Amino acid sequence: MAGPVASASSVDPLGLYLHIPFCDAICNYCNFNRGLLDTELKARYLDALGREIDAAGDGAPVDSVFFGGGTPSVLAPAEVASLIERCRARFELAPEAEITLEMNPEGASASRLDGYRAAGVTRLSLGVQSFRDEELRRLSRLHSAGRAIEAFSLARAAGFDDISVDLMVWLPEQSVAQWLESVDTLIRLGPDHASLYLLELYPNAPLAEEMARAVWSQAPDEDAARMYLDALERLDAAGYRQYEISNVARADHRSRHNLKYWTDGAWIGFGVGAHSTRGGRRWRNVAEVGEYVTRLARGERVVADSRTLSAEERLADTMFLGLRLTDGVDLAWVARRHGVDAWTRWGAELMPFVEGGLLERDERRLRLTRQGMLLASEVMQVFVD
């Protein structure tokens, strides 16, 4: 997708997000809304999810559906097909809609992948995290590097021509060279898209305790910066273009769904804890699976809180989410959409970042440099305060 940071309007197609909160095992660093797979609970949850989609469906145009988790690949292809059909019945699902499913490598088999293709999934996001077994073990992941490579090959053989691979960087005991081994393996495999996520350690994460016990540490900050910059350089050379702080893609393979989050788009999130933003309103579902299932079984609403965004919040969101993109923010577009000249408003606070080489400003756009992306949270703070 080339061009302006956002041309979204209320008539632009929606994205639908479906949260699947079940996993075969719980990883030691995970802070997502998930729990261990319970087949009976899963059946009741899918029933509830279907009811929520039915109740919300208003025939609006939709051009992306994203199954996230948790581990959506714990669903059988028939379950995925039935949810997609539910979305199609209640929304105007574009024939060329991007339909993404997050998959863990250990769940990949030829028949399952064929089933997902037949169900209508067009894009797979593979949670590889590392191509080094030692690192995968430290993260308590169920798959090995070999299994991840096999899963990728099986997905290609099943006909998936839009595959993203997730890698995590700054892992315990990981050196710059070891991180770049994973990046090089990814490049050799040749997915269409890749996401590079920094490991964030939550204070109560079991991994934090294991690290303390085993005396594992993370590389110093300057090495973390090198990991990020060197990986992007190698990916650039291999034909991947960075388009967002953590995301790179080959031509025409940017994630349509995720771009909605960064370009003032609209989406509805279904499932436990899911967030939605549409028509200037933002809401969030109840976070607990039992409560979600019970409420829907009784025909009750599952929204935990909902509010109308103020003009100020919408403007701040446009700025700090837009700056996540390498295209940056189109200031003329912001002025038209929000009636505010962003440079007049924030120029004095942003100027030191421009002078320090973290931000670039031309007559039209404002964007973070790659160095600036390393310190994005400091720059974004200007819009949050």
Footprint of ligand SF4 on this chain (CB under 6 A)?
23, 26-27, 30, 32, 34, 69-71, 104
Least CB distance to ligand SF4 at residue 253 (A): 23
Give the nearer residue to ligand SF4 in terms of CB position, either 70 or 115: 70
Least CB distance to ligand SF4 at residue 51 (A): 24
Give the nearer residue to ligand SF4 in terms of CB position, either 74 or 219: 74
Tokens describing residue 330: 């189109």
Give the nearer residue to ligand SF4 in terms of CB position, either 208 or 374: 208
Give the nearer residue to ligand SF4 in terms of CB position, either 202 or 303: 202
Give the nearer residue to ligand SF4 in terms of CB position, either 104 or 255: 104
**Closest Cα partner for 81 from 45, 114, 42?**
114
- Could you tell me the CA-to-CA distances from 149 to 65, 115, 116, 186 in Å, in that order? 26, 20, 19, 9
Give the nearer residue to ligand SF4 in terms of CB position, either 107 or 328: 107
Least CB distance to ligand SF4 at residue 24 (A): 8
Least CB distance to ligand SF4 at residue 84 (A): 21
The number of C-alpha atoms within 13 Å of 142 and in the hemisphere containing its C-beta is 13
- Residue number closest to ligand SF4, CB atom: 30
Give the nearer residue to ligand SF4 in terms of CB position, either 123 or 367: 123
Least CB distance to ligand SF4 at residue 62 (A): 25
Least CB distance to ligand SF4 at residue 287 (A): 14
Could you give the CA distance from residue 268 to residue 271 in angstroms, rounded to a whole number? Answer: 10
Give the nearer residue to ligand SF4 in terms of CB position, either 57 or 72: 72
258's CB contacts (< 8 A; 6+ apart) are: 66, 244, 247
Beta strand spans in the chain (E):
14-20, 22-23, 35-36, 61-69, 92-103, 123-129, 163-169, 193-198, 241-244, 247-249, 267-270, 275-278, 281-285, 303-308, 329-330, 359-361, 365-368
The 8-class DSSP code of residue 240 comes to: P
Could you give the CA distance from residue 68 to residue 258 in angstroms, rounded to a whole number? Answer: 11
* C-alpha 149, offset from chain centre: 21
Least CB distance to ligand SF4 at residue 192 (A): 21
- How does DSSP assign 283-347, residue by residue? EEE-S-HHHHHHHHHTT---EEEEEEPPHHHHHHHHHHHHTTBTT-EEHHHHHHHHS--HHHHHH
User: How many residues can be counted in the chain?
Assistant: 385
Least CB distance to ligand SF4 at residue 311 (A): 36
